[in-house]
């Protein structure tokens, strides 16, 4: 149920755990000494942006047929991809928030997309030779996979942000 807070008086605002902390007085998540999820989310989104930049650089090198540059960019992308996926699982979901209350469908999507992205890494990280046409096809697939992964993460992060503002 969505709450309309604009019609409430300040005393009626939901409060976070802690001594007289009201959401209407805080510009950020409740400051009660708990971990600050907004910092973790900001870092997570910065890491995602870096991953997207890596994908774009690799895609450009592949499109321009620069095999050596594509190899360097591929290595960087694989490193960032593994870091991003592991950070998402181990730091964002398990430490910044309690485990997400995802539906079985949402969990299946995250698991499938993570496995698919990791398969890209397993195939291409440390590859001794690059066949740019194959790399282009696999890169297109991993981009679509990550798009789905990002959308699901965003849904869960939105849910967790709302919960962290104590509107349960």
What residue segments make up the domains of the chain, in order of their start?
A: 1-34, 37-164
Q: Residue 98 pLDDT more than 70? A: no
- The DSSP-derived string for 57-104 is HHHHHHHTT-HHHHHHHHHHHHHHHHHHHHHIIIIIIIIISSSP---H
- Could you give the residue ranges of the DSSP H alpha helices within the chain? 37-63, 67-87, 104-124, 132-164
Fold entry, domain 37-164: 1.20.120
Q: What is the pLDDT of residue 151?
A: 93
Q: Residue 148 pLDDT more than 90? A: yes
Q: What is the pLDDT of residue 89?
A: 76
Give the torsion sign (CA, 47, 153, 41, 92). Answer: negative
Q: What is the pLDDT of residue 134?
A: 97
Give the torsion sign (CA, 70, 75, 76, 81). Answer: positive
The mean pLDDT of the chain is 77
| pTM, two decimal places | 0.72
Q: What is the pLDDT of residue 163?
A: 59
pLDDT digits (tens, 9 = 90+) for 14-28: 333 333 434 444 344
């Amino acid at each position: 149920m969505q709450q309309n807070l604009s019609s409430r008086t300040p005393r009626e605002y939901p409060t976070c755990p802690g001594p007289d902390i009201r959401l209407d007085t805080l510009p950020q998540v409740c400051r009660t000494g708990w971990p600050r999820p907004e910092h973790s989310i900001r870092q997570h989104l910065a890491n995602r942006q870096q991953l997207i930049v890596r994908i774009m650089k690799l895609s450009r090198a592949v499109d321009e047929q620069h095999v050596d540059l594509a190899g360097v960019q591929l290595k960087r992308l694989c490193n960032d991809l593994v870091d991003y996926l592991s950070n998402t699982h181990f730091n964002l979901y398990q430490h910044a928030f309690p485990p997400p209350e995802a539906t079985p469908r949402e969990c299946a999507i995250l698991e499938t997309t993570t496995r698919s992205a990791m398969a890209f890494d397993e195939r291409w990280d440390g590859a001794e030779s690059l066949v740019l046409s194959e790399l282009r096809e696999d890169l297109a697939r991993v981009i679509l996979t990550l798009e789905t992964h990002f959308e699901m993460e965003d849904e869960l992060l939105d849910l967790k942000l709302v919960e962290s503002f104590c509107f349960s």
